[in-house]
Structure 1
Amino acid sequence: MNKTDRLLAIVLELERKKVVRAEDLATLFETSVRTIYRDIQALSEAGVPIIGAPGTGYSLMEGYFLPPISFTVQEAVSLLIGTDFIEQQFDDDYRVRAQAARSKIETLLPESVRNEAARIRQSMRLLISDKQVMPSKEKKYLEKIRRALLNGRKISFHYAKKLPDFEGNRYSVRTVAPYGLVLVQGSWMLVARCDLRQDIRHFRLSRMTELIDLEERFELPVYFNLRDYTPPDDRHLQVRLRFNPDISDRVKESNYQYIEAMEEHQDGLHVVLRVRQLEELLQWVLGWGAAVSVLEPESFRNQIREEVEKMLKRY
């Protein structure tokens, strides 16, 4: 990053964070603290009203606004593709807002940049599979949860969960304080503190029914930050599979969420997976038919065999 770009980036960072230490700016822009001191001095001499407080950091004088910023073609394309993604993956409210934002961005761009960005976007396309198309119920729930989260209100819903040694799904009523929404492989997950479990739990929107807003309020804990949050990994069961060589590429391209390691062998592709319950893998493994073999554990081999025998009886 050259000096001009760094000076602009420093002002943007001050606008975003209000107060920033020189040490943090030096780390962010991979330069020395002495260089940051010189940059701050250069910005002050250029008329940018920067206030420095010893031991606290730098901030912009209240009321200062950066003049309109121009976008490069690459930056414009990034923003426009971002609006495409939001339009496809978020609720109807954000779909409309994404369309409006796209129109505004295109209007603000100089004609040469707008034309070049349009040309590049014509060579790219953001597609989602049919499996990733969000049902209307989930879109509705996504919007309701998002509003409850922003308003600090709890929600209640019926939740379906597949349990071992249990036919079908078992439903439970949950009251939760929504902490955040996460898009995982095309599926929306709610991170929330569950009143029933008295701890943070994760809920798929696709498994929710009868979701309602509650009047009861909550406050997000000061220690919780969704960006820094790492859920505990309780996948303690390891499964090893062997796939026929002729489908190894398809297995690699599947990007299956439970795959932990893959290794090519003479007899085929060996895949290691980790799960909480063996039932989570059952349908996926059966979907590969005779092209896959369970190496371990033996209990899962038996489970696959029993399921195949049930299928044979049907036919």
Structure 2
Amino acid sequence: MNKTERMLAIVIELQRKGILRAEDLAGRFETSVRTIYRDMQALSEMGVPVAGATGVGYSLMEGYFLPPVSFTPEEAMALLVGADFVELLLDSGYGSSARSSQEKIEAILPESVRGETARLRSVIRLMNDRTACMRVAEKAAFEQLRRAILQKRKVRFRYSKSLAEPDETRHSERTADPYGLVFSQGAWMLVAFCGLRRNLRHFRLSRMKELDVLEQSYDVLPGFDLRNRRPADDRDLIVRMRVDPAVADLVEGSDNYYMESFEPMEEGWLATFRVRRIEDLLPWTLGWGAAVSVLEPESLRERIRAEIEAMRKRY
């Protein structure tokens, strides 16, 4: 990065983050603090209103905005495809904003960049396939929760959770303080302070019914940071299966969330999984028929045998 590029990047960083120390900028751009001092002096001489306070850092004077910058085809491509993802996966409000932002980005692109970007986009397609369609029912809840989070209003909903026994589900009514929405393990989840459990919990949107936004407001717990929040991983049950070579590529490419490793063994391949309960893998395992056999645990082997016997009686 040359000096001109670095100074432009410094202004963008200050515009994004407000106040930054010279040490922070030096670390960000992998240069010396003395070089940052010289860059700040050069920016001031160029008319950029940079303010510096000893012991605090540098900032841009209020009201200053960097003029629009040009995009490379790859940068424009990233923004436009990102907007495609937003339109596909989020609610209608964000979908409309995504389309509007695409139009604005395309309008400011030079003709040469616009043509190259259109060529790049023509080779990438986001399909509204069955997986995405299954999330359509969640979009209304997503929009309600998004607004409730911004307004800091409590929500009430009925929540269903599968239990250890097959075909057994527990339903409960929850009142919660919604803190944020995260996409994890292939599903949208609400991070909220649960009034019933008196602690932070993760709720799958697909399991929420009868959602209401209440008039009551709430305060976020001190120190909460959604960026550092991760769902607890309680998958402590190990499952191992032998996979026939004829379907090894298909099994490995199935993108099973629970799969930890896939390695060769005598007479096939060894697939290792980590799950919360054996039911997490029961339908998936049965779907491969005799091409996949469970080595352990014995409890899953027994469940497979019971299912096969039940199917045999039915047919």
**Fold agreement, TM-score > 0.5:** yes
Q: Please, what TM-score do these two structures have when normalized by structure 1?
A: 0.95
Contact kept in structure 1, 2:166 and 2:279, CA below 8 Å = no
Contact kept in structure 2, 1:20 and 1:58, CA below 8 Å = yes
1:247-277 deviation line (CA, Å, top 9, x unaligned) = 1211222221111222122322212111222
Q: Which amino acid aligns with 1:90?
A: L
**1:148 matches 2:144:** no
CA distance in 2, matches of 1:267, 1:174: 50
Identity of aligned residues (%): 56
The Cα of 1:131 is off from its aligned counterpart by: 2.1
**1:294 matches 2:294:** yes
Q: Which amino acid aligns with 1:314?
A: R
What is the aligned partner in structure 2 of residue 254 from structure 1?
254
Compared with structure 1, are the counterparts of its residues 109 and 132 closer, same or farther at alpha carbon in structure 2 (3 Å cutoff)? same
**1:184 matches 2:184:** yes
Describe how 1:150-299 pairs up with structure 2 within 5 A: 150-165=150-165, 167-184=167-184, 186-299=186-299
Unaligned runs of 5+ in 1: none
CA distance in 1, matches of 2:21, 2:155: 39
What is the aligned partner in structure 2 of residue 116 from structure 1?
116
Q: Please, what TM-score do these two structures have when normalized by structure 2?
A: 0.95
CA distance in 2, matches of 1:31, 1:201: 43
What is the aligned partner in structure 2 of residue 61 from structure 1?
61
The Cα of 1:168 is off from its aligned counterpart by: 3.2
CA distance in 1, matches of 2:222, 2:121: 41
What is the aligned partner in structure 2 of residue 13 from structure 1?
13
The Cα of 1:81 is off from its aligned counterpart by: 0.5
SS in 1 for 2:173: strand
The Cα of 1:166 is off from its aligned counterpart by: 5.5
Contact kept in structure 1, 2:88 and 2:132, CA below 8 Å = no
Contact kept in structure 2, 1:89 and 1:134, CA below 8 Å = no
What is the aligned partner in structure 1 of residue 308 from structure 2?
308
CA distance in 1, matches of 2:238, 2:167: 24
Compared with structure 1, are the counterparts of its residues 257 and 97 closer, same or farther at alpha carbon in structure 2 (3 Å cutoff)? same
What is the aligned partner in structure 1 of residue 138 from structure 2?
138
What is the aligned partner in structure 2 of residue 38 from structure 1?
38
The Cα of 1:190 is off from its aligned counterpart by: 1.3
1:87-119 deviation line (CA, Å, top 9, x unaligned) = 100111111111111111111112221111111
CA distance in 1, matches of 2:95, 2:126: 15
RMSD: 1.6
